[in-house]
Amino acid sequence: MGKKIVIIGGVAAGPKAACRVKRLLVDADVTVIDKDSLISYGGCGIPYYVSGDVSDEKELRSTSFHMVRDEYFFEKVKGVKTLVSTKALSIDRGKKEVHSEHQETGEKAVLKYDTLLIATGSTPVILPIPGNDADGVFTISDLHKAIEIKDRIAKGKVGKAVVIGGGAIGIEMAEALTDLWGIETALVEFADQLLPRIIDWPLATILEKHLRDNKIDVFLGEGAEEIVTKDGRVVAVKTGKRTIETDLVIMAVGIRPQSGVARKAGLLVSESGAIVVNERLQTSDPDIYAAGDCVEITHLVSGKKFVAPFGSMANKEGRVVADNMAGIPTVFKGGVGSFILKAFELSIGSVGLSLEVAKAEGFDADFSLSSPSDRAHFFPGQEIFCLELIFDRRTRKILGFQGTGPLNDALSTRIDSAAVALCACATIDEFANVEMAYSPPFSSAIDPLNAAGYIADNLCADRMRQIPMEEFYRWMEDPSLHSDWLVLDVRHEQQSQPLVEQFGEEIWFPLPQDQMHERYTEIPKDKMLILFCNAGSRAFEIQVFLDYSGYRNTAVLPGGFNVIKRMGASWLSEGPQNNFSY
């Protein structure tokens, strides 16, 4: 036998590195140890297992050719030894040994290594609130928990559920509980929007409306303060504002890198608890690598370190580690945080920085918000999606991209393309000329991605000036502000009419685009004009014309009515224009 390779952690980065290094060094002695009895599973599939979309947990740990990835599989097919239910207690770096203990028998063992990989993953954060350990409180940390939750539901023990946390896992779990089991589900999020810091407010609000439309009670800006129990079982969740009865609590408020064994061994660990690695994913000990949720990597846009707890990232990192272990110097440059999520009939995703984060990071950040068709607008079945491009005005670099859309791959197409552009440090101009494949069943002659770049270019050149959606909502919601502004609705009259009737012409002034050249002198000159159409593009054209005609106090409402009706609003009266499923 050749080199002795030990890998602590058998979920994603660990098995990937093990199998790859075994292919590179066929005579190596590769051993994976994991404290759990179930290994190498698709953790991101857990919500779909709980929902019932995936009927058997074995499917989550099977190959595409239907072999379960268990000890037999790794031994016979991959030539990799696996020790399950085996916890790594400590690493003796001097002797190059891992000391382990069997979780059932208590048996201790010593594993010699030449090279070691720490792929210990992460643990879910547990809120330090009363009742957090009650029967019926779960985190989504491993397959056992998922099996237990599904078992409880299948036995009819769950009529009501509360999900704490409006991040990706919380939202996926809320859908799983509601959609396929009909459980009355509430979702509680401490921040005042869903997917905080990942998705900006307008698009997060579209998601929020969609969850509400699908019968999830969404409570934002409310922290869970207590889990009320009875006889040790959860019966309710108390927030600062209300008490929500429940039989089940899913706590999905984030993760923490699991770096105890690394820290104990004296390896460098960051303040946030992530193992520090170089570009080759080496820890501060050159014979020890680390990968997956337990490390921090470089964010290729902000340049900062971050923890990227994605199975996809873990697999990529695992491969890089294997190459380095086998003497093929390979670097992992970092990530851009590509993210996509299904929520009922909606897709939502992002990559890079949100506008909020980009501003906080000190960029001269601005955004283009658009609402184009996801394929040729004349092609049957086309749907609107909402896209936001975040860019730096000074350097013209792309900083991020995000969107919501119907449940198909149209959004994912643009997120992935933007991800490649972000990895390549693209500018607005490169983004605007990216050559997306065009055919009416798949896209538009001017792809939404390119169009987002065009808008950014117009904003940078101050040819276009816009009002953020937040500001527009604040104005609409407060009648005391109404005297200063005026919405100029440039759509067809039958489209503007319901809103004109609701608000009156002093607030909502109709002037169709094709009558603008003749009638623009009718527009009051003493008010700031909010230029309004369905998607924002006609509003921009009118802005250019009005600038030329001496009306310079104007702002386009980016994304227009397409965005607003998907966001919903208390100030928008019920009616056909507000009766909308994504």
User: Contact between 167 and a copy of itself (CB under 8 A)?
Assistant: no
Q: Minimum distance from CB of 163 to a copy of itself (Å)?
A: 17
User: Contact between 212 and a copy of itself (CB under 8 A)?
Assistant: no
Identity of the residue numbered 493: E
Are the C-beta atoms of residues 61 and 143 closer than 8 Å to each other? yes
Q: Using CB atoms within 10 A of its CB, is residue 269 exposed (0-12), middle (13-18) or buried (19+)? A: buried
User: Contact between 497 and a copy of itself (CB under 8 A)?
Assistant: no
Distance of alpha carbon 33 from the chain centroid? 30
Q: Minimum distance from CB of 137 to a copy of itself (Å)?
A: 25
From 1, 26, 303, 576, residue interacting with a copy of itself (rule: CB under 8 A): 26
User: Contact between 154 and a copy of itself (CB under 8 A)?
Assistant: no
Q: Using CB atoms within 10 A of its CB, is residue 165 exposed (0-12), middle (13-18) or buried (19+)? A: buried
Q: Which of 222/388 has CB closer to a copy of itself?
A: 388
The values of phi and psi at residue 373, to 5°, are -75, 150
Q: Which of 142, 170, 145, 20 is nearest to 80 (CA)?
A: 20
From 93, 145, 342, 396, residue interacting with a copy of itself (rule: CB under 8 A): 342
- Sites for a copy of itself among residues 61-80 (CB under 8 A): 62-65, 67, 72-73, 76-79
User: Contact between 329 and a copy of itself (CB under 8 A)?
Assistant: no
Binding residues for a copy of itself, rule CB under 8 A, total 109
Q: Where are the alpha helices (DSSP H) in 113-247?
A: 143-154, 168-181, 201-213
User: Contact between 197 and a copy of itself (CB under 8 A)?
Assistant: no
Binding segment (CB under 8 A) for a copy of itself, from list 225-233, 251-259, 264-272, 345-353: 345-353
Q: Which of 218/432 has CB closer to a copy of itself?
A: 432
331 to 12, 149, 193, 278: CA distances (angstroms) = 19, 40, 37, 9
Q: Minimum distance from CB of 428 to a copy of itself (Å)?
A: 12
Q: Using CB atoms within 10 A of its CB, is residue 435 exposed (0-12), middle (13-18) or buried (19+)? A: exposed
Q: Where are the beta strands (DSSP E) in 490-562?
A: 508-510, 528-532, 554-556
Q: Which of 282/534 has CB closer to a copy of itself?
A: 534
From 243, 272, 278, 312, residue interacting with a copy of itself (rule: CB under 8 A): 312
Binding segment (CB under 8 A) for a copy of itself, from list 91-99, 101-109, 198-206, 429-437: 429-437
Q: Minimum distance from CB of 578 to a copy of itself (Å)?
A: 19
User: Contact between 134 and a copy of itself (CB under 8 A)?
Assistant: no
Binding segment (CB under 8 A) for a copy of itself, from list 86-94, 96-104, 216-224, 329-337: 329-337
| Marked catalytic residue, from 19, 44, 294, 460 | 44
Tell me the three-class secondary structure of 68-96, residue by residue. ECCHHHHHHHHCCEEECCEEEEEEECCCC
State the Cα–Cα distance between residues 42 and 299, nearest whole angstrom. Answer: 24
Q: Where are the alpha helices (DSSP H) in 111-166?
A: 143-154
Instruction: Judge whether 44 counts as a catalytic residue.
Output: yes
Q: Which of 482, 565, 551, 495 is nearest to 523 (CA)?
A: 551
State the Cα–Cα distance between residues 200 and 223, nearest whole angstrom. Answer: 20
Q: Which of 394, 324, 381 is nearest to 117 (CA)?
A: 324
Q: Which of 42/136 has CB closer to a copy of itself?
A: 42
From 393, 523, 547, 569, residue interacting with a copy of itself (rule: CB under 8 A): 547
User: Contact between 373 and a copy of itself (CB under 8 A)?
Assistant: yes
- Sites for a copy of itself among residues 244-273 (CB under 8 A): none
Q: Minimum distance from CB of 339 to a copy of itself (Å)?
A: 6
User: Contact between 410 and a copy of itself (CB under 8 A)?
Assistant: yes
- Partnered with residue 427 across adjacent β-strands are 397
Are the C-beta atoms of residues 238 and 143 closer than 8 Å to each other? no
User: Contact between 517 and a copy of itself (CB under 8 A)?
Assistant: yes
Q: Which of 265/322 has CB closer to a copy of itself?
A: 322
Q: Which of 85/417 has CB closer to a copy of itself?
A: 417
- Sites for a copy of itself among residues 442-461 (CB under 8 A): 442-443, 445-447, 449-450, 454, 461
Binding segment (CB under 8 A) for a copy of itself, from list 108-116, 338-346, 356-364, 500-508: 338-346
From 492, 500, 569, 572, residue interacting with a copy of itself (rule: CB under 8 A): 492
To the nearest 10 degrees (0 to 180), the angle between helices 201-213 and 168-181 is 20
Sheet holding 398-406, edge to edge: 339-343, 346-352, 398-406, 386-392, 365-370
- Sites for a copy of itself among residues 32-61 (CB under 8 A): 42, 44-45, 48, 53-54, 59-60
The values of phi and psi at residue 215, to 5°, are 70, 15
Binding segment (CB under 8 A) for a copy of itself, from list 254-262, 279-287, 401-409, 466-474: 401-409
State the Cα–Cα distance between residues 74 and 31, nearest whole angstrom. Answer: 10
From 194, 307, 387, 426, residue interacting with a copy of itself (rule: CB under 8 A): 426
User: Contact between 349 and a copy of itself (CB under 8 A)?
Assistant: yes
From 243, 278, 395, 433, residue interacting with a copy of itself (rule: CB under 8 A): 433
Q: Which of 87/465 has CB closer to a copy of itself?
A: 465
The residues near 276 (Cβ < 8 Å, ≥ 6 apart) are 267, 268, 269, 270, 283, 284, 295, 296
**Number of helical (H) and strand (E) elements in the chain, helices listed first:** 18, 30
From 180, 376, 523, 569, residue interacting with a copy of itself (rule: CB under 8 A): 376
Q: Which of 257/311 has CB closer to a copy of itself?
A: 311
List, by residue number, the catalytic residues.
44
